[in-house]
Amino acid sequence: MLSKFIPDLYAQSIYTIDFGALKRRGVTAIIVDLDNTLVESTRPDATPRLIEWLNEIKKMGFQVIIVSNNTKTRVSKFAVPLNIPFIHTAKKPLTQAFRKALEKLGTRIEETVVIGDQLLTDVLGGNRMGLYTILVVPVSDVEGIFTRLNRRIERLVFRWMKKRGLLSWEEGN
């Protein structure tokens, strides 16, 4: 069961992911978390750097959808100006929102990656669906109470993975 917490790839941020390599693997779509993956949970809109990143990956032919556990108000205010489809109140790690995202994108599991900052929501949910999962370092330390609780559990999972030689990176928590 704990193997479902292991991401396929770990990156310092969305900006350090090799999207060319993903493209060569046949990936055409990205399911991405919002808060602490794309921007801080307190930031209402996209940064210029994020807008540039979104434009670049779209030029490369990737489709992008935001799948967030946050509210419709939060996610729509962020995604609509960027013309990015979204799913709010996703209830990750349940798989329903990931299935809905695949349907909206019109892609198959093997063509789609999940990028997020949490093992217990993004990675676990994506792995439960059989999606390729990428864990990124959170962009901020400012987090809600449920995320703080998740981070404590994540540290235990990271220790378990490290003891078994399952970490291919140095985890900083």
The domain total for the chain is 1
pLDDT in tens, 85-134: 999 999 999 999 999 999 999 999 999 999 999 988 999 999 999 999 99
Q: What is the chain's mean pLDDT, rounded?
A: 89
Residue 24 lies in a domain: yes
The answer, yes or no, to whether residue 1 has pLDDT greater than 60, is: no
Average pLDDT over residues 135-146: 76
What is the DSSP annotation of 72-119? Answer: HHHHHHHHGGGT--EE-S--TTSSHHHHHHHHHHT--GGGEEEEES-I
Residue 173 lies in a domain: no
Residue 171 lies in a domain: no
Residue 8 lies in a domain: yes
The answer, yes or no, to whether residue 173 has pLDDT greater than 50, is: no
Range of the domain at 18: 2-163
Residue 170 lies in a domain: no
What percent of the chain has a predicted confidence (pLDDT) above 90?
72
CATH, residue 13 = 3.40.50.1000
